[in-house]
Amino acid sequence: MDQKTIEARARDYIAKEGDAGFRAEVESLLKAGDWKELEDRFYRDLEFGTGGLRGVIGGGYNRMNNLVVSRATQGLCDYLRKAFPGKALSACIAYDSPRSRPGSSRPTASRLTFSGASGRRPSSPSPSERSRPTRASSSRRATTRPSTTATRLTGTTAPRSRLPTTRASSPW
């Protein structure tokens, strides 16, 4: 991607981003002329894949931030409206990252409401957050398969075929 296109996308992002911290990140990269980093943040839009919307947290269209999540939420609402015309839309918003805060779901809830859907935000962490290891069990890592609520504890040396699977209870 050429420098002119990267700069145009970066300036477009700055104009739309509501988070001052993420805006400042991109502004400082432009000021410093860090074109390699800017290209990584703007050469494409972050894609919604089989594991959901995943990426590095930071400023840019190829990063996880409120603007990108809000745009993805709008796209999902648009798709569901076309796929299920006349149906009422609703969604449950979960916290999936250790850096997530209860306030971080507000832009998603606002976008759902703006699109005519209802959104519910849980008051407690998701099952994957509750099953995070303590310092004493740092040799184990909790992961949640996106298609189920099954939580799998994986040891650092355990073969995948012998991993125990337990059901996580829903906080709702």
Task: Measure Cα distances from 43 to 9, 15, 39, 40, 131 in Å.
Answer: 9, 18, 5, 6, 36
The stretches in the chain having pLDDT less than 70 are 94-104, 121-172
Q: Which amino acid is at 28?
A: S
CB 119 within 8 A of CB 93: yes
Rounded-to-integer distance, Cα 76 and Cα 34, Å: 33
Pairing of strands 140-144, 118-120: unpaired
CB 64 within 8 A of CB 58: yes
Can you list the alpha helix ranges (DSSP code H) found in the chain? 3-16, 20-32, 35-42, 66-83, 106-114, 127-130
Quote the pLDDT of residue 90: 82
39 in helix, strand or coil? Answer: helix
Quote the pLDDT of residue 148: 37
